[in-house]
């Protein structure tokens, strides 16, 4: 059986499926006989007791480690378990519907969540996540599913899940997670981005992978084209083993470029830098020949923990990163939470449109004390290397000025404390909202550099949710609207003599590299593993030819035509690449 999804992280892996069910469960709707009703009620009671004791345990542990205040939030969870109305409703429906108790329980839970989410009362709305959390815990116990953290896996497996959050993915270790596949998710969701950074092949948006794949099934995951083969025959296995080999040979050839500059045949030089989420990725950044870090997604430092990181803790982490890079630049992006990245320790209310909501710089400007802790840590680390600071989700000049003013306050606080930092630290703005892209002539006067965040810029300009697999076909970096915005950003930056980089996933796509180079992009920042191939393209074309490609691409009416055109030109300009690609595809 073959399944087709959205390619999220390239590479081929072959291994056994592990069904990870931390978030959602496929709940069977089994019919039951009348005489089985008491048995089902007893199962529910048992699951409730088990859940209660699990919550008590967690509460005890947190209370011991962090104080009672932090453990108190679980009282709300216990209250949900003791809600007789909910339990009575499950028992009543069980008798009426004669379906297994997990099915009935899941339906009642869904109804509760629906009712709560429609209420005007903010307090009640915030209880949704309590009901959801506890409900899933009860379901897990009813289904007898084991809860495992992805960091605790003992064997090498391919993870199959309904969804994985960016923080789940951050817990994965390449050592045991060979690859993963999910039912939902889009190509530039942070889960997909994280997989690329960790070099874990992944396919997302498969819709029914968790229903079709059973635990222990043998899987082939081809992350480059989004294919999953379930229980392949011997021939298929042989073919994919051979492909794996070719992949690694091509990879080795490209790694030979590690110490070479990203310079075109006619001498135009650009920078190829890396995006990182975790300091552990630095070895991979260096081994792939990055000229620095173009995007350090610092929010991962805030994830998978129960408290906010202190100034000292952050300072040490940022210092460790900059000192590894000596003179090469490191761009620390300030906290960009929200959208599809949530932090358990911050009580951010549930929103209808999280990508359009209280995220990134909006959150930081509203919480200057949290923001300043991070800014002081970044400033302190700037004394130890070439560290720059960049603000995410800037929508206009006023917001940018506000962020810079808070940075100045943080500088002043350090001066008072007589702590050294780079007084001349360079500041940048991410251009990832159409309003910023259209006013970047004004924004360019306020900062030292721009970095284009195409992951968000595309979702906002084309109105395509970046994590929704149903509309992923509309998510087109080559859409004429996107290309025009990119051209405007680069030209406006250059007019004000500032450099313009790109740290969205588009910068790591081989064929698009040709257009971006031709449009005059100065810095290409991407997941480390993508650097060698982009460098290879840049080193094998002439800047003059790339400019021609960009010029023509801008005249084409659809994203599809642009894609077809650049792919064709790429192979014409670098015939060697076509040979290698064909080899990999056969």
Q: Which residues inside 492-521 make contact with ligand PEP, applying CB under 6 A?
A: 503-504
Stretch that binds Mg ion, among 200-208, 228-236, 455-463, 524-532 (CB under 5 A): 455-463
3-class DSSP state of 467:
coil
Q: Does 187 bind Mg ion (CB under 5 A)?
A: no
User: Nearer Cβ to Mg ion, position 232 or 338?
Assistant: 338
Cα distances (Å, whole numbers) of residue 384 to 141, 317, 332, 365? 51, 12, 14, 27
Q: Does 395 bind ligand PEP (CB under 6 A)?
A: no
DSSP 268: -
User: Which of Mg ion, ligand PEP, none lies near 454, with the C-beta cut-off 5 to 8 A by kind?
Assistant: ligand PEP
User: Nearer Cβ to ligand PEP, position 130 or 432?
Assistant: 432
Q: Which residues inside 402-441 make contact with Mg ion, applying CB under 5 A?
A: 432
User: Nearer Cβ to ligand PEP, position 291 or 504?
Assistant: 504
Question: Is the Cβ–Cβ distance between 142 and 47 less than 8 Å?
Answer: yes
User: Nearer Cβ to Mg ion, position 432 or 523?
Assistant: 432
Stretch that binds ligand PEP, among 109-117, 263-271, 349-357, 454-462 (CB under 6 A): 454-462
* HSE, side-chain direction, 13 A CA sphere, residue 404: 18
At closest approach, how far in Å is the CB of 299 from Mg ion? 11
At closest approach, how far in Å is the CB of 361 from ligand PEP? 12
User: Nearer Cβ to Mg ion, position 399 or 432?
Assistant: 432
3-class DSSP state of 26:
coil
Torsion of CA 560, 562, 567, 569, to 10 degrees: 150
User: Nearer Cβ to ligand PEP, position 346 or 580?
Assistant: 346
Q: Which residues inside 186-215 make contact with ligand PEP, applying CB under 6 A?
A: 193
**Angle at the Cα of 422 (from 420 to 423), degrees rounded to 5?**
100
At closest approach, how far in Å is the CB of 360 from ligand PEP? 8
Neighbours of 144 (CB within 10 A): 9
Q: Tell me the C-alpha distance between 66 and 63, whole Å.
A: 5
User: Nearer Cβ to ligand PEP, position 376 or 466?
Assistant: 466
* Closest among 168, 85, 79, 93 to 131, alpha carbons compared: 79
Q: Does 354 bind Mg ion (CB under 5 A)?
A: no
User: Which of Mg ion, ligand PEP, none lies near 504, with the C-beta cut-off 5 to 8 A by kind?
Assistant: ligand PEP
* Buried b / exposed e along 423-438 (16+ C-beta atoms within 10 A): eebbbbbbbbbbebbb
Q: Which residue is nearest to Mg ion (CB)?
A: 456
At closest approach, how far in Å is the CB of 297 from Mg ion? 9
Q: Tell me the C-alpha distance between 389 and 368, whole Å.
A: 16
Q: Tell me the C-alpha distance between 489 and 29, whole Å.
A: 53
Q: Name the β-bridge partners of 584.
A: none
190 a catalytic residue: yes
Q: Which residues inside 297-326 make contact with ligand PEP, applying CB under 6 A?
A: 297
SS3 content of the chain, % helix, strand, coil (to 5): 55, 15, 30
> Given candidates 9, 51, 439, 454, which one binds ligand PEP under the rule CB under 6 A?
454
Q: Tell me the C-alpha distance between 389 and 6, whole Å.
A: 33
Stretch that binds Mg ion, among 4-12, 251-259, 454-462, 557-565 (CB under 5 A): 454-462
* Closest among 351, 334, 338 to 404, alpha carbons compared: 334
Q: Which of 77, 190, 288, 479 is catalytic?
A: 190
Q: Does 456 bind Mg ion (CB under 5 A)?
A: yes
Q: Where are the beta strands (DSSP E) in 489-583?
A: 499-502, 523-526
Instruction: List, as one string, the DSSP characters of 284-308.
Output: HHHHTT-SSEEEEEGGGGGSSSSSP
At closest approach, how far in Å is the CB of 466 from ligand PEP? 8
At closest approach, how far in Å is the CB of 304 from ligand PEP? 17
User: Nearer Cβ to ligand PEP, position 197 or 314?
Assistant: 197
Q: Tell me the C-alpha distance between 552 and 535, whole Å.
A: 23
Q: Tell me the C-alpha distance between 475 and 467, whole Å.
A: 10
At closest approach, how far in Å is the CB of 450 from ligand PEP? 12
Q: Does 338 bind Mg ion (CB under 5 A)?
A: no
Stretch that binds ligand PEP, among 247-255, 364-372, 401-409, 450-458 (CB under 6 A): 450-458
Stretch that binds ligand PEP, among 216-224, 314-322, 449-457, 481-489 (CB under 6 A): 449-457
> Given candidates 264, 334, 386, 455, which one binds ligand PEP under the rule CB under 6 A?
455
Question: Is the Cβ–Cβ distance between 14 and 230 less than 8 Å?
Answer: no
User: Nearer Cβ to Mg ion, position 183 or 432?
Assistant: 432
Q: Please measure the distance between the N-terminal and C-terminal CA atoms of the chain and give it in whole angstroms.
A: 20
Q: Name the β-bridge partners of 18.
A: 159
364 a catalytic residue: no
> Given candidates 453, 508, 513, 520, which one binds Mg ion under the rule CB under 5 A?
453
> Given candidates 432, 465, 509, 523, which one binds ligand PEP under the rule CB under 6 A?
432
Q: Tell me the C-alpha distance between 184 and 161, whole Å.
A: 9
Neighbours of 112 (CB within 10 A): 20
Annotated catalytic sites, by residue? 190, 503
Footprint on this chain of ligand PEP (rule: CB under 6 A): 193, 295, 297, 336, 432, 453-456, 503-504
Footprint on this chain of Mg ion (rule: CB under 5 A): 432, 453, 456
């Amino acid at each position: 059986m073959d399944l087709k999804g959205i390619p999220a992280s390239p590479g081929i892996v072959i291994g056994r499926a592990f069904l990870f069910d931390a978030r959602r469960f496929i709940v069977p709707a089994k019919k039951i006989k009348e005489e089985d009703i008491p048995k089902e009620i007893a199962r529910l009671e048992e699951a409730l007791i088990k859940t209660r004791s699990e919550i008590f345990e967690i509460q005890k542990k947190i209370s011991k480690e962090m104080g009672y205040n932090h453990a108190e939030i679980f009282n709300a969870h216990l209250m949900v378990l003791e809600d007789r109305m909910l339990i009575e409703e499950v028992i009543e429906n069980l008798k009426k519907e004669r379906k297994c108790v997990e099915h009935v329980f899941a339906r009642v839970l869904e109804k509760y969540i629906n009712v709560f989410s429609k209420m005007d009362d903010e307090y009640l709305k915030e209880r949704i996540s309590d009901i959801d959390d506890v409900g899933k815990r009860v379901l897990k116990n009813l289904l007898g599913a084991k809860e495992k953290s992805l960091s605790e896996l003992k064997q090498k497996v391919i993870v199959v899940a309904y969804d994985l959050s960016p923080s789940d993915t951050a817990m994965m270790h390449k050592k045991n997670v060979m690859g993963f596949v999910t039912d939902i998710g889009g190509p530039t969701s942070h889960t997909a981005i994280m997989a690329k950074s960790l070099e874990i092949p992944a396919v997302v948006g498969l819709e029914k992978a968790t229903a079709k794949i059973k635990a222990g099934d043998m899987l082939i995951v081809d992350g480059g084209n989004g294919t999953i083969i379930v229980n392949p025959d011997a021939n298929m296995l042989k073919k994919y083993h051979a492909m794996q080999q070719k992949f690694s040979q091509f990879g080795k050839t490209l790694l030979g470029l590690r110490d070479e500059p990203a310079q075109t045949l006619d001498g135009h030089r650009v920078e190829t830098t890396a995006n990182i989420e975790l300091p552990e990725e630095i070895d991979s950044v260096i081994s792939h020949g990055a000229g620095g870090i173009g995007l350090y997604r610092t929010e991962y430092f805030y994830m998978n923990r129960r408290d906010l990181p202190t100034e000292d803790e952050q300072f040490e982490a940022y210092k460790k990163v900059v000192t590894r890079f000596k003179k090469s630049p490191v761009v620390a992006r300030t906290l960009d939470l929200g959208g599809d990245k949530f932090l358990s320790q911050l009580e951010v209310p549930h929103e209808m449109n999280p990508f359009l909501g209280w995220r990134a710089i909006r959150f930081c400007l509203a919480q200057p004390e949290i923001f300043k802790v991070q800014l002081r840590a970044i400033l302190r680390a700037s004394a130890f290397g070439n560290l720059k600071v960049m603000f995410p989700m800037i929508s206009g000049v006023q917001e940018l000025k506000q962020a810079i003013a808070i940075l100045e306050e943080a500088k002043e606080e350090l001066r008072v404390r007589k702590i050294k930092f780079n007084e001349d630290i360079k500041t940048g703005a991410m251009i990832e909202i159409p309003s910023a892209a259209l006013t970047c002539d004004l924004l360019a006067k306020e900062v030292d550099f721009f970095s284009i965040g195409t992951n968000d810029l595309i979702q906002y300009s084309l109105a395509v949710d970046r994590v929704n697999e149903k509309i992923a076909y509309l998510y087109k970096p080559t859409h004429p609207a996107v290309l025009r915005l990119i051209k405007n950003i680069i030209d406006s930056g250059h007019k004000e003599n500032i450099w313009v980089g790109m740290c969205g996933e588009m910068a790591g796509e081989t064929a698009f590299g040709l257009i971006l180079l031709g449009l005059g992009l100065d810095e290409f920042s991407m997941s480390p593993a993508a650097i060698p191939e982009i460098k290879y393209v840049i080193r094998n074309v002439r800047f003059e030819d790339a400019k021609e490609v960009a010029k023509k691409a801008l005249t084409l009416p659809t994203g599809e035509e642009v894609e077809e055109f650049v792919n064709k030109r790429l192979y014409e300009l670098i015939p060697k690449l076509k040979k290698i690609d064909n080899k990999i595809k056969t």
